[in-house]
Structure 1
């Protein structure tokens, strides 16, 4: 993770230089603000990755003599059959369409988003049996 942290911090420095040059050259507030916000986001991600790399074991990507096969194996659990991202995508699309066509459309998107979030959070929760 050290490589990723350094990469994001380097990208943040590049965006900061770009934001300063863009701000002086264009005198435009929206683009300059967006670039400074992108700098802040890259800095946060870079510091998080650098902080996490100190506490985590050295991965294969951090060693110069590592092979591709050294990083092979299971990376985590990913749900193979979840429909909840589709519900969240539909709800998010309706919400953004509500910004375009009218705020009333958000009333229809909010239940879809809430059902998607609830389903995704409790997808693998079995809970305690209430029948005793």
Structure 2
């Protein structure tokens, strides 16, 4: 994780240099505040990755003598396909549209459909052909 740490450290240094320059050139409080918060965010991620990189054993891609075969093995579970995200997105779109139009009856319908589709997405691997 040392490469990732250095990537965020470089971003932090860049933002530390750019933020005062932006303030001196424009005098804009909004942009300066946003750049300051971004600087603090990249600093926080840099510190987190740096602490964890120091505590953990190097990964195969972090070692100089690492081979491609060292990283072999199970990487995780990847679902084959699912229609549930489409229906969840459509239910969310209905809820957002109903909120914008102040149609509370449509909001309730979208919320009920959203609860059903979200439950289907969560529990899709408990039944059917992809059950575990």
Of the three residues 92, 98, 102, the one matched with 1:104 is: 102
How far is the alpha carbon of 1:84 from its aligned partner? Answer: 4.5
Cross-structure match for 1:5: 5
Cα displacement string for residues 48-103 of structure 1 (whole angstroms, at most 9, x for unaligned residues): 2223223432102221232344334332223233444445545666677789xx37
Q: Which residue of 1 aligns with 2:27?
A: 27
Gaps of at least 5 residues in structure 2 are 128-132
- Aligned position for 1:130: none
Does residue 75 (structure 1) correspond to residue 75 (structure 2)? The answer is yes
What's 1:37 paired with? 37
The equivalent of 1:129 in structure 2 is none
| TM-score, scaled to structure 2 | 0.63
Cα deviation code 1:85-125 (max 9, x no counterpart)? 445545666677789xx3737947x7366556555555546
Rg bigger for which structure? 2
| SS of equivalent to 1:51 | helix
Could you say what the CA RMSD is over the residues aligned between the two structures, in angstroms? 3.5
Matched residue pairs, number? Answer: 124
TM-score by length of 1: 0.63
Match of 1:49 in 2: 49
Q: Distance in 1 between matches of 2:39 and 2:95?
A: 28
Contact 1:94 1:105 in 2 (8 A): no
> Structure 1 6/80 Cα, relative in aligned 2: closer, same or farther at 3 Å?
same
Does residue 60 in structure 1 map to residue 60 in structure 2?
yes
Unaligned ranges ≥5, structure 1: 127-132
